[in-house]
Structure 1
């Protein structure tokens, strides 16, 4: 049963603070009095404790009928992760940071988009991406090792033979072209599982961020309701 939700971003002044406030509102609208049984909190991996919410976040939430002026940032702790039933981060790096902090929380830590969309292949994608990176590095190493003498000669004559050197480098890129293309496809999928940080941008960026969070939270609310129904 999901009774405590923890949102995590970087500074806890933009994304996670908006997600916390939006989910609270959406739960009240959807569950009524039952919403009081679910605790929603937020924190940041690099938050400065006591910081207020970003002015643009406050303004965007005001349009949602939410007062974010009283929000104060907190840094995420192992205790927060331990006590949560569900931990939703905004990026994959934040997910990694939470899991480094508490490896046993693996089954309850997701990016918001990953959880909302029910993505199952994220670990497989990340392992595959790392494998491809290693393959690329090994191919580069072997290529350079095999052509090291030739490359050294070319570098000495670089001004005269710059074009030839570029051709060899292009051949190396061709050697790893397939891996690069697949890695780009994987990284596009992984990027889609993150909520971009609007910090330092204009209010339109915050509005887009809040809308994306709100859209993902619809699925979170549905899954919380499902978990409550399973325990009736």
Structure 2
């Protein structure tokens, strides 16, 4: 358990996707950048990411790096991390890119059910109500589509989708 400078428990937010080279790495980079502008909560939140099928040490995809560079965020030093039980247990909030990633987290650690959500599920306005979720993530509006292996335009769309949810997240946690 980490403590911040004020001695309070530092909250850990874990972003999860498949390979930790596209969506979750972009979410981590974007959210860290957003936190820089929030001195009121910046020192209280640790942001990390991992992948359900990641190889430890892989670089972020070239288009993920390029898209975040367009936003002034350097993702070149990012290295992928495989999702582990330890990461799940030590995270205070786990935000996955799809409902199938959420299922993978819960398969590893069923006890995490109170702290794991898809990013869109967690940031959705309560007024919208609960929509039925397709457990397998087929065409699910709760999912952020995977840009892996696609054009830079698809990466830009994915980054914009993530960023929109992260703007809601930063408002929700203040």
TM-score, normalised to structure 2, is 0.87
2:156 counterpart residue number:
207
Does residue 27 (structure 1) correspond to residue 35 (structure 2)? The answer is yes
* Aligned-pair CA distance for 1:77: 0.6
Does residue 18 (structure 1) correspond to residue 26 (structure 2)? The answer is yes
CA distance in 2, matches of 1:38, 1:45: 22
> RMSD value over aligned CA atoms?
2.0
Report if aligned partners of 2:10, 2:46 keep a CA contact under 8 Å in 1: no
3-state SS of 1:32 partner: coil
Q: 1:216 aligns with which of 157, 165, 168?
A: 165
3-state SS of 2:19 partner: coil
* Aligned-pair CA distance for 1:36: 2.3
Alignment deviations for residues 35-73 of structure 1 (CA, whole Å, 9 cap, x no partner): 022100000000011100000000000011111000000
1:43 counterpart residue number:
50
2:130 counterpart residue number:
121
CA distance in 1, matches of 2:10, 2:163: 19
1:111 counterpart residue number:
118
2:80 counterpart residue number:
73
* Aligned-pair CA distance for 1:224: 1.6
CA distance in 1, matches of 2:103, 2:33: 28
CA distance in 2, matches of 1:15, 1:55: 12
CA distance in 2, matches of 1:211, 1:102: 30
Report if aligned partners of 1:89, 1:110 keep a CA contact under 8 Å in 2: yes
TM-score, normalised to structure 1, is 0.66
Report if aligned partners of 1:53, 1:68 keep a CA contact under 8 Å in 2: yes
Does residue 52 (structure 1) correspond to residue 1 (structure 2)? The answer is no
CA distance in 2, matches of 1:85, 1:36: 15
Gaps of 5+ in 1: 131-186, 226-232
2:147 counterpart residue number:
198
* Aligned-pair CA distance for 1:218: 0.9
Gaps of 5+ in 2: 1-8
CA distance in 1, matches of 2:78, 2:173: 24
Report if aligned partners of 1:2, 1:86 keep a CA contact under 8 Å in 2: no
